[in-house]
Chains A and B, each alone.
Chain A
Amino acid sequence: MKKFVAAGVVAALMAGVAPATAATQIDFWHAFTGRLGELLDEQVSKFNESQDEYTVVATNKGNYSETLNAGIAAFRAGEQPDILQVFEVGTATMMGAKGAIKPVYEVMAESGLPFDQSAYLAAVAGYYTTTDGQMLSLPYNSSTPVLYVNRDALEAAGLDPDMDLSTWDKVGTALDALKESGHKCPLTTAWQSWVHLENLSAYHNVPFATKENGFAGVDTELSLNGDVQVKHIDTLGQWAKDGKFIYSGRRNEGGAPFRAGECALFTESSAGYAGVKNEATFDFDIRPLPYWSGVEGAPQNTIIGGASLWVMQGQTEEEYKGVAAFFNFLSSSEIQAKWHQDTGYLPITMAAYEETKASGYYDENPGTDIAIIQMTGKAPTANSKGLRLGSFDQIRGIIDEELEGVWNGSKSAQEALDSAAERGNELLRRFEQANR
């Protein structure tokens, strides 16, 4: 009983003391669970300990789609958080909502904190900036597709595990040898639309959609049925027919068989590195994403996937200052370098990349810098800056459906891509109408 009283007194005292140091609360809704969620919480508590003016409260709201929906519903009810994590395909939706978001460049400018947009990796930040270079949301977790190679499988098929796999022609030769040696799964992929159409287009400097891939206006139309794309999908379709390319699903279902050693080659996000490193009991390599050698300008640069942090409208000035301080903290090279090394996501600043390089991390973990080199090798063009298309989550669903038609042999590559463009354009027109 005495203990209770004592505890009560302490609690009362603490409650009485609290308002004196009351920190401004910054709400941060995100879509990370598991290991990524832990790493995010670690960043947040580091920030909270580093100063006493602001307290960031991070809350998981489900997966990416659910988090976006939670943010939208909350905004409609006037209960929106300060910061909302939105996946890259939701970028156009957020941009279109001018009255719902507060651009990051504005938040930073008003806070008076130093903010140098050129410190950010252009290939990463470019996805989230306006055509005149103003940053709208802060890139948070970004990755780009690379090729994972099971060296043991190549060796078993009588191939040199160090063989050149930089172009799809060379990959084709390797697939032939693997197939001949009786390999069950020579090649599989994750995120087919992202890797084999969106990135393919950027990498070969051809448009995925008109109007600079949607950056220059909502009256954009899909142009993913061009020659390069048709050739690539047609080749993959042929490989699927011959049992050289195994389709495993729309998301990253291909990861499990690759990590179990069942698949020889695997195109997947650079952020898949941690998982492969953890589970693979075979020798593996990371290689740049292959390209078609005959295409002029290829390889250009690949584009990112992942999410960025959006600041919501309707908060107090004090909260925006806190958001700016938190963003400043997240962009520091120490935090970014750690994030990059822990997760396999790209660092968002050049300084973080340099720091990681200096620490010798890339020498100890060969291949982890390939994603950055692949993205920053050339200055992004209008075709390789990124994509900004409305209803893009659903358009990806349509593309997935059409590609499945190619993999099961019911459609030719040209038919499938024409149909994907036509159906996708219908959704783009709906989006244009809603965002006029």
Chain B
Amino acid sequence: MEKRVVFDNRWLPYLLVAPQLLVTFVFFFWPAGQAIYQSAFIPDPFGLKTQFVGLGNFEYLFGNRYYRESFLTTAVFSVLVTVSAMSFALWLAVLADRVIKGSSAYRTLLIWPYAVAPAIAGVLWLFMFNPFTGIIAWMLAQLGYTWNHTLDGGQAMALVVAASAWKQISYNFLFFLAGLQAIPKSVIEAAAIDGASFWRRFWTIVFPLLSPTTFFLLVVNIIYAFFDTFGVIHTITKGGPEQSTTILVYKVFSDGFVGQDLGSSAAQSVILLGLVGVLTVVQFRFIERRVHY
């Protein structure tokens, strides 16, 4: 039997969702609208004068080789962060799920990095990898490997990916662990009795049953890699060397707040907005089909 609450008052439902709508409007639609509006102008920083340029800002951006390359950098960075943060977290969660003694201590320790702000995480990693004074840079030098992420774009990318992923592993771990614990033990035990090995049980039972969690984390991690990693990049590389770690969101910041070029910055926000929108639609249309709830 289906239970349904029916409101007699026609206005009450609207009233109840109004606060949420208001918040969405004030903090999302209004600024997004502003960005779209501003992207058609070149204003001076103080807002004293402004010029209408139509699509001029977009033309300027796409005519710039470094901006086009920034898309590729963003793609590489996001994929690396997402894949490494998720796979490592899943591996840890599987291990932690099997631990019997002292499991809560392990879990607590694994969750800690999530409490670290991105900028602080960046500084921590920078200390370890500082080409002059960092302990890991020193250890690598002992092994005969020269570490200098201020000059080597590949190393710089590896460092910002590691710092960003490290922070996100905790978050992913938490969800994966909860997901693992929600899988009925009886299914796994039945497979074990049938003689399925641990890996076979994992790939044929656990992983598919975990797919809602994995899908959720995929969306969250991509959004994280796109937007929240700004602090890590700002503290470690400032987008360098030679723009090799300038992801799209970092360029929005540096053009807007370092260069005071608000028109270009607004246009980039609009592009980013569209890109993330498309990405989310793709994820829900194509990947979600493969998710078993």
A323, B64: Cα distance in complex, Å: 44
Map CB proximity to A onto B245-274 as digits: 1 under 8 Å, 0 otherwise. Answer: 000000000110111110110000000000
Q: Is B242 positioned at the interface, with any CB of A under 8 Å from its CB?
A: yes
Say yes or no for B43: interface residue by CB 8 A criterion. Answer: yes
Contact of B46 with A434 in the complex, beta carbons under 8 Å: no
Q: Does B152 contact A (CB under 8 A)?
A: yes
| Distance in angstroms between the alpha carbons of A394 and B260 in the assembled complex | 9
| Docked pose: A407 CA to B131 CA in angstroms | 15
A393 and B258 contact, CB distance less than 8 A: yes
Q: Is B132 an interface residue (CB 8 A)?
A: yes
- The residue from B64, B66, B132, B239 contacting A256, defined by CB atoms under 8 A apart: B132
A305 to B150 alpha-carbon distance, docked (Å): 23
Q: Is A75 an interface residue, CB under 8 A from the partner?
A: yes
CB <8 Å contact, B64 and A426: yes
User: Which one, A97, A253, A257, contacts B44 given CB within 8 A?
Assistant: A97
CA distance A278 to B242 in the complex (A): 35
Is B243 a contact partner of A72 (Cβ separation < 8 A)? no
Determine if B150 and A249 form an interchain contact, defined as CB atoms under 8 angstroms apart. yes
Complex interface: chain A residues within 8 A of B152 (CB)? 408
**Does B133 touch A at the CB level, under 8 Å?**
yes
Give the interface centre of A65, A407, A408, A436 by most chain B CB atoms within 10 Å.
A408
Nearest chain-A residue to B50 (Cβ)? A434
In this complex, the member of B45, B131, B133, B257 whose beta carbon has the largest number of chain A beta carbons within 10 angstroms is: B45
A402 to B241, CA, bound (A): 9
Question: CB-defined interface of B47-68 with A at 8 Å, one 1/0 digit per residue?
Answer: 1100100000000100010100
List B contacts of A397 (CB < 8 A): 238-240, 254, 258
CA distance A69 to B261 in the complex (A): 12
A262 to B130, CA, bound (A): 15
How close is A337's CB to chain B, nearest CB, in angstroms?
35
CB < 8 Å neighbour of A394 from B51, B60, B258:
B258
Chain B positions 221-240 with a Cβ under 8 Å from a chain A Cβ: 238-240
Q: How many residues of A contact B (CB 8 A)?
A: 40
B151 within 8 A of A: yes
In the bound complex, CA of A179 to CA of B60 (Å): 47
* CB-contacts of A46-96 with B (<8 A): 65, 69, 72, 75-76, 93, 96
CA distance A248 to B133 in the complex (A): 11
Docked-complex contact A93 and B255, CB < 8 angstroms:
no
Known A247-B150, A249-B150: A76·B241 in contact at CB below 8 Å: no
Flag whether A368 is at the interface (Cβ < 8 A). Answer: no
Q: Which residues of B are found within 8 Å of A431, using beta-carbon distances? A: 261
Chain A residues closer than 8 Å to B60, beta-carbon distance: 430
Residues of A within 8 A of B66 (CB): 423
| Distance in Å: Cβ of A432 to nearest Cβ of chain B | 10
Is the beta-carbon distance between B259 and A401 smaller than 8 angstroms?
A: no
Which residues from A are CB-within-8-Å of B239? Answer: 397
B42, A430: Cβ atoms under 8 Å?
yes
Give the distance in Å from the alpha carbon of A410 to the alpha carbon of B42 in the complex: 35
Interface residues of B in 128-159 (CB under 8 A from A): 131-133, 148, 150-152
Q: Is the CB of A434 within 8 A of B241?
A: no
Q: How far is the CA of A65 from the CA of B234 in the complex (A)?
A: 13
In the complex, are the beta carbons of A404 and B241 less than 8 A apart? yes
Contact B258 A65 (CB under 8 A): yes
Interface residues of A in 390-404 (CB under 8 A from B): 391, 393-394, 397, 400-402, 404
Are A408 and B257 in contact (CB-based, < 8 A)?
Answer: no
**A contact residues around B48 at 8 Å (CB):** 97-100
Complex Cα gap A394–B255 (Å): 8
B residues 8-64 with Cβ under 8 Å of A?
42-48, 51, 60, 64
Which residues of B have CB within 8 Å of A433? 42, 51
Query: A250: CB under 8 A from chain B?
Result: yes
Closest partner residue, chain A, to B131 (CB atom) = A248
| Nearest Cβ on chain B to A375's Cβ, whole angstroms | 28
CB-defined contacts of B258 to chain A, threshold 8 Å = 65, 393-394, 397
Q: Given A248-B150, A397-B254: A93 and B260 within 8 A (CB)?
A: yes
How far, in Å, is B126 (CB) from chain A's closest CB? 10
Determine the residue in chain B with the shortest Cβ distance to A430: B261
Contact partners of B151 in chain A: CB under 8 A: 247, 404, 407-408
A411 to chain B: closest residue by CB: B242
Query: With an 8 A cutoff between CB atoms, is A161 at the interface?
Result: no
A-B contact pairs, 23 of them (CB 8 A): A65-B258, A69-B257, A76-B46, A97-B46, A99-B46, A100-B46, A248-B150, A250-B240, A253-B132, A391-B260, A391-B261, A393-B258, A394-B254, A394-B261, A397-B254, A401-B243, A402-B242, A404-B242, A407-B151, A430-B42, A430-B264, A431-B261, A434-B263
Beyond A256-B133, A262-B132, 19 extra complex contacts between A and B, CB < 8 Å: A72-B45, A72-B46, A75-B46, A97-B44, A99-B46, A100-B48, A250-B150, A257-B132, A393-B258, A394-B255, A400-B240, A401-B240, A401-B242, A404-B150, A404-B242, A405-B242, A430-B42, A430-B60, A436-B51
Binding site for A on B (CB under 8 A): 42-48, 51, 60, 64, 66, 131-133, 148, 150-152, 238-243, 254-255, 257-261, 263-264
Identify the 4 closest CB pairs spanning chains A and B, nearest first.
A394-B259, A408-B151, A404-B241, A100-B46
